[in-house]
Chains A and B, each alone.
Chain A
Amino acid sequence: MWTILWNNRIQVAAVILFAVGFVTLLLHRNLIKKVIGLNIMDTAAYLFLTSIGYIQGRLSPVITEADTAAEHYVNPLPAGLVLTGIVVSVSVTAVMLALTIRIYRRYHTLNLDEIYRYVHDEMEGEK
């Protein structure tokens, strides 16, 4: 078991990072740290995806004239998927940060529990 884990160490690292990021995003009360958790989670997913494409001893998929044998290059598909994924993660991070800015301006705190308390008070006054 330990040898398998050691051979797959990149995947193991990705899995641990994913779980850490997931829990931070789900349970942490601080909004900025939630965003950090989101980024850890996404990055872990991309690390995993990149590691799938890697094949020991092969070149990156920029073809040189002489050599077009498929056996000499790594899998180009995961790299393309990671590229797509990174843009997605940048976009959602930007939106989360914009939301955080607005929340912070209004409630002067980033702690979700306190914000809930204020919102609860606001709701009491509603019809």
Chain B
Amino acid sequence: MNFCLNFPLFLIVLSLASAVICSVLNGKAARLTAICLAALSAVLNTVILFYTYRNNISIPYLMGHYPHPWGNELRISPMEALFSAAFSSILFLCLLGGTMQIRQKVQQDLSRYFYVMTCLIQAALLVLVYTNDIFTGYVFIEICTLSSCGILMIRKNGRSTLASVRYMIFSLIGSGLFMFGLIFMYNVTGELLMPNVRSAVRVLWESGRYRVPLLTSICLMTLGLGIKSGLFPFHIWMADTYGTAIPGASAVLSGLVSKGYIFFLVKLIYDVFDIRVFYASGVQNVLFVLGAVGIILGSVSAMRENNMPRMIAFSSAAQIGYIYMGIGISPGLGITAALFQILAHAATKPALFLASGVLTNAMGGAKKFRNLQGSGYVHIWGGISFTFEAFSMIGVPLTMGFMCKYLFGAAAFDASVTKLVLTLAVLSISTILNTIYFTRSVICIYRLPVAGDRTRERSQTSFIFAAAVFIAVNLFFGIFGKSFIDALGNCVTIF
């Protein structure tokens, strides 16, 4: 059974190799390869999760013959296994649910490249989750950037090219800052492997040597990953990006890529910056404020939007604000809440994008709300999925969204009074705003009469399957999530 510790290595190499293989296959075979790969990765990561959780394993895995600090390493623990299993299964569902649109909207001879890019994204996400070395993280962040830009620009109209230019510029700024922070870190610690850097950082912080470079490095790396994942003042690329990409692509981008960066940031906070140093540095307060402002302003922008994908994109900005707010609240409970929010958002937003995609399709490509009236009747499953996920976003009890808000509230009671008051205020205001704009959109898609002469459209089986699984998972964790969250909290403490 010890053999299953080799699975991450196999999965990473297999993802990279199947990306290369997909580039010579035709579109159909490439699609099959990518979907099978995602499913395989989900299954194997679940096996690792059970094995490591049961035996309480958290060990480094050598990539090569040389132990630290000479070679590269992965680290395998329940937390990593959980997140990579979740990311892979969501990628699987996104590919399954978005098949139709990918087939319709991507040029025939280019569709294989879509799957090349998804394989690369999967490899990059696995490495970002498993890696134990900062520089490896940087290299795979760049793979993630290039491949997510690839699935964005595969739709060849002027707007999506412009959106990918914007996305690319912000991503490059983010990775440039991350790189510079990494160099500072290497300069003052002399190490690149996470545990070694952490012990060096601890010693430096206590002795007070190199204080300013250390803080600069922490700021630059946090800021770089924040820009890439859409932290508040830098969320402006999101609306264009998610609004113009094909629904499958925006599902992958919002659900997985930005979450991968945030998970990497959490990993850095624990394994590189050291949790005590990070929470003594004051950076967390900046994250808290930016997150809180992002929640409010993102929701306000979403309310003013009359284009469905763009509205969902702005709500994404708000949800990412929650994650950063959670990181800012407190180390233990706050981070648990943030991690649960990563999972919840990754399980909700892709479904919303996919549902909005089929609704848009059912109405002949209309994206504005006034043209989407009655689309819920035309495409039954799209309507159901959209409604359910919208309720989860609002935070109706029995859904994951409710769990998240509950956790944030509970975490805030651990923190200082200012943060408690601010958190509760932000939570309540954002719930009201969320309710307004999501209820409005749900009412809109069920409003009669149906514009024009529309017959009911038959849903594709793969979309129904994906939507049903998304709903089932959401309900399951919404109802029985308590013990899961406790386990997550335990894992956080031994991170």
Establish whether residues B158 and A106, one from each chain, have CB atoms under 8 Å apart when the complex forms.
yes
Question: Which residues of the other chain, A, contact B135 by a CB distance below 8 angstroms?
Answer: 81, 84
For window 126-184 of B, CB contacts with A under 8 Å fall at: 135, 139, 142, 145-146, 149, 153, 158-159, 161-162, 164-165, 168-169, 172-173, 176-177, 179-180, 183
Cβ-neighbour of A95 out of B146, B180, B187 (below 8 A): B146
- The answer to the question of A10 belonging to the interface, with a C-beta cut-off of 8 Å to chain B, is no
Task: Please give me the residue from chain A that is nearest to B170 by CB atom.
Answer: A26
- The answer to whether A41 touches B176 (Cβ under 8 A) is yes
In the complex, per-residue mask of A107-119: 1 if CB is within 8 Å of any chain B CB, else 0:
1000010011011
14 interchain pairs, CB-CB under 8 A? A22-B173, A22-B176, A25-B172, A38-B172, A49-B183, A52-B187, A92-B142, A95-B168, A96-B168, A99-B161, A112-B165, A127-B366, A127-B367, A127-B371
A103 contacts B by Cβ under 8 Å? yes
Cα separation A84 to B153 with both chains bound (whole Å): 26
Question: Do A95 and B149 contact each other (CB < 8 Å), given the known contacts A52-B187, A84-B139, A103-B161?
Answer: yes
Q: Is the CB of B365 within 8 A of A45?
A: no
* Residues B186 and A52 in contact, CB atoms below 8 Å apart: yes
8 A Cβ contacts from A71-127 to B: 77-78, 81, 84-85, 88, 91-92, 95-96, 99-100, 102-103, 106-107, 112, 115-116, 118-119, 122-123, 126-127
B211 at the interface (CB under 8 A from A): no
Q: Which residues of B contact A106 (CB under 8 A)?
A: 158, 161
> For residue A78, which residues in chain B have a CB less than 8 angstroms away from its CB?
186
Q: Given A119-B158, A119-B159, does the pair A103, B165 have CB atoms closer than 8 Å?
A: yes
Closest CB in chain B relative to A33 CB, distance in Å? 12
Q: What A residues does B202 contact at CB under 8 A?
A: none
Partner of B153, one of A21, A99, A116: A99
Report the count of interface residues on B (CB-CB < 8 A): 31
What is B's interface to A at a CB cutoff of 8 Å? Answer: 135, 139, 142, 145-146, 149, 153, 158-159, 161-162, 164-165, 168-169, 172-173, 176-177, 179-180, 183, 186-187, 192, 364-368, 371
Q: In the bound complex, do residue B162 and residue A45 qualify as a contact, i.e. CB atoms below 8 Å apart?
A: no
- Chain A residues contacting B366 (CB-CB under 8 Å) are 127
Residue A92 contacts which of B139, B146, B153, B364 (CB distance < 8 angstroms)?
A: B146
The reply to whether A122 and B142 form a contact with Cβ atoms under 8 Å apart is no
Tally A-B pairs: CB < 8 A: 84
- Closest CB in chain A relative to B375 CB, distance in Å: 13
Question: Which chain B residue has the least Cβ–Cβ distance from A41?
Answer: B176
A85: contacting residue among B149, B158, B168, B179, CB under 8 A: B179
List of B residues within 8 angstroms of A38 by Cβ: 172, 176
Q: How far is the CA of A96 from the CA of B167 in the complex (A)?
A: 11
Nearest-neighbor residue (CB-CB) of A25 within chain B: B173
Q: Which of A28-63 contact B (CB under 8 A)?
A: 31, 34, 38, 41-42, 45, 48-49, 52
Cβ–Cβ < 8 Å partners of A100 in chain B: 165
Indicate if the CB atoms of B159 and A91 lie closer than 8 Å: no
Q: Choose from A42, A95, A96, A118 the contact partner of B176 (Cβ within 8 Å).
A: A42
Knowing A92-B142, A127-B367 are in contact, say whether A45-B183 is a contact too (CB < 8 A): yes
Min CB–CB distance B127 → chain A (angstroms): 14
Decide yes or no: A92 and B179 within 8 Å by CB, A52-B186, A52-B187 being known contacts: no
Query: Which chain A positions have C-beta within 8 A of B364?
Result: 127
**Chain B residues whose CB sits within 8 angstroms of the CB of A22 once the complex forms:** 173, 176-177
Does A99 lie within 8 Å of B142, measured CB to CB? no
CB distance A107 to B158 under 8 Å? Answer: yes
Smallest beta-carbon distance B250→chain A, Å: 17
